[in-house]
Amino acid sequence: MQGLTNLSGDTLKGAVEALLMVSSESVAATDLAAVLGVDPGDVASALAELAAEYLDCNRGFQLREVAGGWRLFTHPAYHEQVEQYVLSWDTRKLSQAALETLAVIAYHQPVTREGIRAIRGVNSDGVISSLREKGLVREVGREQDRGQAILYGTTQLFLEHFGLRSLRDLPPLEDFAPDEESKRFIRERLSGTSFASTLEDASDDIDEDRDLVNNDFDDDADEEYDELEDILNDEEASFDD
């Protein structure tokens, strides 16, 4: 490794390329520099030059900075061909339910299971477990209220898979809204206003259902008590006779 200290020009870029080729996740310039025994500034320059060269030569891959590091990606121009190829053997692709749940978590994290259910309208426990197994979602803490419910958020692997440097690069959901009413709804959801009221409504519904059950139980108990009282009165009358 000491012999690499004075790597220069194309040799340094070649070494960086080799490390990127065997990396399964994004790698920071400082980490590459530590492995190669060179100045981090030289590695940063090499990475920028490589990214520009790939772009100028219209190669089938690109070098992009994502999730705090650098990683090789296939060129967007060939995504259709790559997708057809990958889907032919990828058994871990995301279902529609998984994509919906992942979107809720990504745009509203940290969020609880109850919060996800309130937005999607269905139980998402199984989908959340699947996303955790795929490494796209993780536990990020506990909610202070509501019984210390687990809070979920996305992972660095999520950023890498979707080509994002950070969550700030998520596209605005409003861009996909078909009309102004939908845009307003999305803004309320993301601000937490409508979301909080939805949770309150759900809690009220649960309380209302509980009251109905209790009332039904009390009514049944009253009827049974009245029947029992009538029987005892009849027995007492018969005894007096």
Q: Which CATH number characterizes residue 107's domain? A: 1.10.10.10
The closest of 205, 197, 209, 179 to 119, measured between CA atoms, is 197
Q: Among the three residues 108, 138, 170, which one is the final residue of a domain in this structure?
A: 170
Cα gap 80→65, rounded to integer Å? 22
pLDDT at res. 1: 39
Question: What average pLDDT is seen over the chain?
Answer: 77
Q: Among the three residues 79, 113, 136, which one is the final residue of a domain in this structure?
A: 79
Is 215 part of any domain? Answer: yes
- Domain range for residue 161? 96-170
Q: Residue 42 — very low, low, confident or very high, per pLDDT cuts 50/70/90?
A: very high
Q: Among the three residues 115, 138, 170, which one is the final residue of a domain in this structure?
A: 170
Whether residue 26 sits in one domain with residue 75: yes
Joined tokens for residue 129: 């477990």
Whether residue 166 sits in one domain with residue 185: no
* Local structure of 151: helix, strand or coil: strand
Chain-centre distance for alpha carbon 205: 27
Q: What is the pLDDT of residues 69-101, one digit of tens each?
A: 999 998 888 988 887 776 665 445 678 888 889
Expressed in angstroms, the distance from the first to the final Cα of the chain is 112
Whether residue 9 sits in one domain with residue 68: yes
The structural domain count of the chain equals 3
Is 113 part of any domain? Answer: yes
Is 72 part of any domain? Answer: yes
φ, ψ of residue 158 to 5 degrees: the values are -60, -45
Q: Which amino acid is at 12?
A: L
Task: Identify the weakest region by mean pLDDT among 6-20, 41-55, 167-181.
Answer: 167-181
Whether residue 123 sits in one domain with residue 60: no
Is 203 part of any domain? Answer: yes
Cα gap 127→139, rounded to integer Å? 14
In the chain, what percentage of residues exceed pLDDT 90?
32
Q: Which residue has the higher pLDDT, 191 or 60?
A: 60
Cα gap 4→173, rounded to integer Å? 47
Is 219 part of any domain? Answer: yes
Whether residue 228 sits in one domain with residue 190: yes
Whether residue 151 sits in one domain with residue 124: yes
| Residue entry with tokens 């102004």 | 180
Is 191 part of any domain? Answer: yes
Whether residue 154 sits in one domain with residue 186: no
